[in-house]
């Protein structure tokens, strides 16, 4: 529902319509990142809450989920120590 796919490297694959992480966070629109793990119970409980946030804010914010087991490099880059962890970006800046 919130998942947007992006590639680990800096190339764009137009056929799959994926974006790099840098392209995603380089947006005028605020981006809420949910760093989660599939094995994390509290992470699973955040789904309905994030859905409510999306319903209330609509197109004012984009919500993306980042699986820390698949994207370990991003979790390390943003020093994710536990899950769930949330980060908000705008114009490539962590707010």
Q: Which of 40, 46, 61, 87 is catalytic?
A: 40
**Domain 13-94 CATH assignment equals 3.30.420.40:** no
Is the torsion defined by CA of 48, 84, 44, 6 positive or negative?
A: positive
Tens-digit pLDDT string for the chain (95 aa)? 344 434 344 444 444 457 788 988 999 999 999 999 999 999 999 999 999 999 999 999 999 999 999 999 999 999 999 999 999 999 999 99
> What is the reported pTM?
0.77
40 is catalytic: yes
Alpha-carbon gap, residue 2 to 54, rounded angstroms: 9
Q: Which of 33, 43, 64, 83 is catalytic?
A: 43
43 is catalytic: yes
């Amino acid at each position: 529902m919130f998942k947007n796919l992006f590639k680990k490297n800096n190339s764009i694959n137009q056929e799959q319509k994926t974006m790099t992480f840098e392209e995603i966070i380089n947006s005028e629109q605020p981006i809420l990142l949910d760093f989660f793990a599939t094995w994390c119970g509290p992470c699973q409980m955040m789904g309905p809450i994030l859905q409510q946030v999306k319903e209330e804010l609509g197109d004012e914010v984009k919500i993306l989920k980042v699986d820390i087991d698949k994207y370990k490099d991003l979790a390390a880059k943003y020093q994710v120590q536990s899950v769930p962890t949330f980060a908000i970006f705008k114009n490539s800046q962590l707010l």
